[in-house]
Structure 1
């Protein structure tokens, strides 16, 4: 049976460099404090809304204050996905 041709080896090493993933960059120094601050502000906003029955932090918004508080917390939690 005839032998198949042998592949030529890549001599410049570009194939091995492309195969290895780059090391992830660390997060900036402000990332973690901002993330934690957003989660705490959102939590405080939700608690204040429950305790005041929707009249605070912004009286005209009513129960939309809950959605805003949860939204702020959600932004903080999504920031944890990119934290290194």
Structure 2
């Protein structure tokens, strides 16, 4: 019986990436410093509130200082979603 010819498939080459996408992916250098800064500010806010027994950072809002500190930390987690 005759042997059939072997067909060679062309190698797959992906289409070239758009220049705009490459710029968007690499332009996230601000995310890590902002995220860490928000985490640290929130932590310092809460620790300062406990160490000074409520007289600092803002005495007028009393125990809501804890909510403000956790708000900074939550904002840090929100910014972390932008990290690639």
TM-score, scaled to structure 1: 0.65
Change (3 A) 1:71 1:27: farther
* 1:24-43 alignment runs, 5 A limit: 25-26=25-26, 28-43=28-43
User: Distance between the aligned counterparts of 1:70 and 1:77, measured in 2?
Assistant: 10
What is the aligned-residue RMSD (CA, Å)? Answer: 2.0
Cα displacement string for residues 37-73 of structure 1 (whole angstroms, at most 9, x for unaligned residues): 0000000000011112221101111111110000001
Question: Kindly tell me: are residues 69 and 27 of structure 1, through their superposed partners in 2, closer, same or farther at Cα, counting changes over 3 Å?
Answer: farther
User: 1:83 is matched with which residue?
Assistant: 83
1:66 aligns with 2:41: no
Separation in structure 2 between the aligned mates of residue 59 and residue 82 of structure 1, nearest angstrom: 34
Q: Which runs of 5+ in 2 are unaligned?
A: 1-14, 16-20
Report how many residues are paired. 64
Task: Quote the offset at 1:26 in angstroms.
Answer: 3.9
Is this contact kept in 2: 1:27–1:83, CA < 8 A? no
The reply to whether residue 48 of structure 1 matches residue 48 of structure 2 is yes
